[in-house]
Amino acid sequence: MKKRKLTLTQILVGIVGVIIAILFTLPMLWFVFAPFNSSVSLSVAIPERFTLENFVVAFSSEVAMRGLLVNSVIIGGGTMVGTAIIAAMAAYGISRGNLPGRQIFTTVLILFSSVVTGTASMIPIFLLIFSLGLIDTHLGVILVMIGGLLPAAIFIVIDFVDGVPRSYEEAAMISGAGPLTLFRDITFPLIRPGLMVVGIWALVNAWGSFLTPFILLRDPLKVPASVAFYVFYDPEGTPNIKLVAAYAVLYTIPVVLLYLLVNWRYGFSFFGGIKR
Amino acid sequence: MTLILENVHKAFGAVKAVNGFNLSVADGEFIALLGPSGCGKTTTLRIIAGLETLDEGRVVIAGKDVTELPPRDRDIAMVFQDYALYPHMSITDNIGYPLKVRGVSKADRDSRVAAVAGNLQIGNLLERRPSQLSGGQQQRVAVARAVVHHAQVFLFDEPLSNLDAKLRLEARAFLKHLQREVGITSIYVTHDQAEAMALADRIVVMQSGEIMQVGSPLEIYRRPANTFVASFIGNPPMNLLQCTVDTGQSIIQFAEELAIIRLPENSHNTIMNVKPHEQVTLGIRPEYISIRAEPSATTIPGKLYVIQNLGGEILVIARFGEQLLSIRMFQEETPELPEQVWLDLDFDHVFFYGANGQLLQ
């Protein structure tokens, strides 16, 4: 191998890079070690004495566990499925329907996606959900989440549907397939990578969403994990760091696992197009 | 099965894609729809398939009016230009798909797929995915998927246009053989006249959504019904010359250049239907013009433009006024020709077309 001489600039860039990397790694390290530490502070330290007691305490909170194992799963799963199904149908319609002004329409979609679940629209959303009688229901939260995620989701899925040549569907129609069979056998398998991306992305968004469930839900036993963190705060608003850290680990695991599973099983792709 | 298209109309906005199309196809007949891009041939095929709705008219397959039926109820099979093989299915599943949709059991399906695939020499590819196949193999798989269930009508949408020249000739022979063997009524869309001539029992020549001529390949070649067909069929196509005919004296006067031909005695019937002094078009195939060194009563003057040796035949292009005329000679050696040549027209093979472009007969 050829010996490479490092210039001074390269060395300096390397050092700066390492420093930045350490800065970004520190919170993650804290996050990994703190839950197992019996005496937590805000500084990163390898625990002198490992303990699982923080988890035991976290598990014993009904609000926290219901939030994580029931409410977050319902809200996350509902948002994921709802977003993927509606986005698939809408994207299919837009892609195949030769909508005039489609380019503008899809651009506007993207703009709207940042508005719907934003802080600015919280009052009208609250009033809307209130008049629908959906305050303090999971359905209300799910609908608002889906509404916020759909524009971008549709935008992503359109590209996948566009990537499926019409002749595939026409060939299936001539082969004797009706609309549903056609979608199940041909279109759905071909746009599945796109629906995976959109579904996981919707789940992650719903899982991490704080403001919407915080405003729309009243009963502490209905709030998802993102809001249930508050049980580990004392009435003055000071967090119990040990428990927050332990709960944070539990809160992260499902999403990371799901991401790994989907990535391993199907792979992610953010744009359509079919390898023939 | 028989196929009847009755007064079919289809417009896309202001563009009339198919305009009053009438055709009756006999059982087992192989029909080619031939025409330039945008002539409506693919639209016609898609109307038969039910992939396009029609504005007016009827489609009748095997005596049953299918105009309002969706594609799946028409009992047809189609080979697409891009083959439309499903990329996420194996070749077995691709070929077997029409059977699967129709509820044929897996075992039955597999044996029929294996039989068809063996017949088309793709039996060793069944486990693969379409992306792992060459163009020619994909084409065969697409054909296999069409023949695997016994449809009443086969539709082909330019199935050979994505193949290279050598494969195309092979696939052409293979398709012709297959159609003979299966004996199913077939409609074949192409813009390649050689393909249409080679494959079809009858050719339908189309332009701007209208039928220009229907006939056997030989009829269409020998006796083009109008100047469009004359200039579209044949390679090179028929030579067309503007002229007027003095019917009384059997003299033809060309518009292109000051040249006069006196018709030979035995050829007077060719001008029977030409009105005196009517502007007409004279059509003659390149092989019926011969080159002479001296002028005669049936020659027109030409200036040698270029000689092409095509191997087995010679194509001479000569200038007559502003127009280029093709002359075909069946010989191997490139001839030595003077600059000034005399082109002798064989009046047994001359046609006259009226001002509206239609054959005067």
In this prediction the ipTM stands at: 0.82
- Chain A residues with beta carbon closer than 8 angstroms to that of B84: 165, 167-168, 170-171
Q: Which residue of B has its CA nearest to A165?
A: B84
Q: Which of B77, B81, B130 sits opposite A174 (nearest CB)?
A: B77
Of the residues B42, B47, B101, B149, the best mutation for testing chain A's interface (the one with the most A CB atoms within 10 Å of its CB) is B101
CA distance linking residue B69 with residue A217, whole number of Å? 52
pLDDT in tens, B217-265: 999 999 999 999 999 999 899 999 988 888 777 788 887 677 788 887 7
Residue B17 · residue B40 · CB < 8 Å: yes
Integer Cα distance of B244 and B255 in angstroms = 7
Residues of chain B with pLDDT under 50: none
What number is the average pLDDT over the span A61-69?
Answer: 88
Query: Which residue type, as a one-letter code, is found at position A116?
Result: V
Cα Rg of chain B (Å, integer): 25
Question: What radius of gyration, in Å, describes the C-alpha atoms of chain A?
Answer: 24
Residue A114 confidence class, pLDDT cut points 50, 70, 90: low
Rounded Cα distance, A231 and B169, in Å: 78
Q: Say which CATH class B239-353 falls into.
A: mainly beta
Within 8 A of B101 by CB-CB distance, chain A residues are 172, 175-177, 181, 185
Predicted confidence (pLDDT) at residue A2 exceeds the cutoff of 70? no
Which pLDDT belongs to residue A274?
57
Q: Is A62 on the interface with B (CB under 8 A)?
A: no
Which chain B residues are closer than 8 Å to A276 by Cβ?
A: 85, 87, 130-131
- Give pLDDT, residue A276: 47
Residues of B in contact with A165 (CB under 8 A): 82, 84
| A273 touches B at CB < 8 Å | no
Residue A156 · residue A194 · CB < 8 Å: yes
Chosen for mutation from B42, B69, B86, B91 (greatest number of chain A CBs closer than 10 Å) is B86
DSSP string, B215-249: E-HHHHHHS-SBHHHHHHSTTTT-EEEEEEEETTT
Per-residue pLDDT, A115: 67
Which A residues, 172 through 211, put their C-beta within 8 Å of a C-beta on chain B? 172-178, 181, 185-186, 189-190
Nearest Cα neighbor of A247 from A47, A75, A31 is A31
Mutate to test the interface with A, among B12, B80, B90 (most CBs of A within 10 A): B80
When CB atoms are compared, the residue of A168, A176, A276 closest to B101 is A176
For residue B237 the two structure tokens come to: 């196509």
| Under 8 Å between Cβ of B94 and B130 | yes
Alpha carbon distances (Å) from A10 to A5, A17, A21, B141, B195: 10, 10, 16, 56, 65
DSSP state of B269: G
CATH of domain A55-265: 1.10.3720.10
Cis peptide leading into B236, omega within 30 of 0? yes
Calculate how close chain A gets to B193, using CA atoms only, in Å: 25
Phi, psi for residue A59 in degrees, rounded to 5: -65, -30
Map out the domains of chain A as residue ranges.
Answer: 55-265
Chain B environment of A178 (Cβ under 8 Å) = 70, 72
Residue of chain B nearest A169, judged by CA positions: B84
Which tokens in the block code for residue A25?
């790694």
Say which of B88, B101, B131 has its CB closest to residue A177: B101
Q: By CA distance, what is B77's nearest residue in A? A: A174
The verdict on a CB contact (< 8 Å) between B102 and A176 is yes
DSSP collapsed to 3 states, B52-85: CCCCEEEEEECCEECCCCCHHHCCEEEECCCCCC
pLDDT value of residue A270: 60
Q: Cβ separation of A173 and B87 shorter than 8 Å?
A: no
- pLDDT surpasses 90 at A193: no
Q: Which residues pair with B325 in a beta bridge?
A: B318
Q: Count contacts between A and B (CB, < 8 Å).
A: 66
Between A106 and A200, the more confident residue is: A200
Q: Say if domain B3-232 classifies as CATH 3.10.20.30.
A: no
3-state SS track over chain A: CCCCCCCHHHHHHHHHHHHHHHHHHHHHHHHHHHHHECCCCCCCCCCCCECCHHHHHHHHCHHHHHHHHHHHHHHHHHHHHHHHHHHHHHHHHHHHCCCCCHHHHHHHHHHHHHHHCCHHHHHHHHHHHHHCCCCCCHHHHHHHHHHHHHHHHHHHHHHHHHCCCHHHHHHHHHHCCCHHHHHHHHHHHHHHHHHHHHHHHHHHHHHHCCHHHHHHCCCHHHCCHHHHHHHHECCCCCECHHHHHHHHHHHHHHHHHHHHHHHHHCCCCCCCCCCC
Per-residue model confidence as pLDDT tens digits over A207-258: 999 999 999 999 989 999 999 888 888 888 888 888 888 898 889 888 888 8
pLDDT band for position A77 (50/70/90)?
very high
Mean pLDDT for the stretch of residues A106-110: 77
Per-residue pLDDT of B65-94, as tens digits, reads 999 999 999 999 999 999 999 999 999 999
Amino acid present at A30: W
Are B101 and A175 an interchain contact pair (Cβ–Cβ within 8 Å)? yes
**What is the amino acid identity at position A7?**
T
Lookup: tokens for B167 = 């494969």
Three-class secondary structure of residue B185 per DSSP? strand
**Range list of H helices, chain B:** 41-49, 91-101, 106-119, 135-147, 165-182, 193-199, 217-222, 227-232
Q: Of the candidates B82, B88, B155, which has its C-beta nearest A167's C-beta?
A: B82
More confident residue, B1 or A86: A86
SS3 helix, strand, coil % of chain B, rounded to 5? 30, 35, 35
Q: Tokens 């109309």 map to which residue?
A: B9
| Residue bearing the bigger pLDDT, A109 or B180 | B180
Looking at the complex, does the CB of residue A96 fall below 8 Å from at least one CB of chain B? no
Per-residue confidence band for A12, with pLDDT thresholds at 50, 70 and 90: very high
> Where do you find CATH 3.40.50.300 in chain B?
3-232
CB A183 within 8 A of CB A89: no
Q: Where in chain B is the domain with CATH 2.40.50.140?
A: 239-353
Q: Which of B81, B84, B98 sits opposite A176 (nearest CB)?
A: B98
Q: What pLDDT, on the 0 to 100 scale, is given for residue A105?
A: 81
Rounded CA-CA distance B139/A128 in Å is 57
Measuring CA to CA, how many Å separate A203 from each of A73, A79, A247? Answer: 9, 6, 19
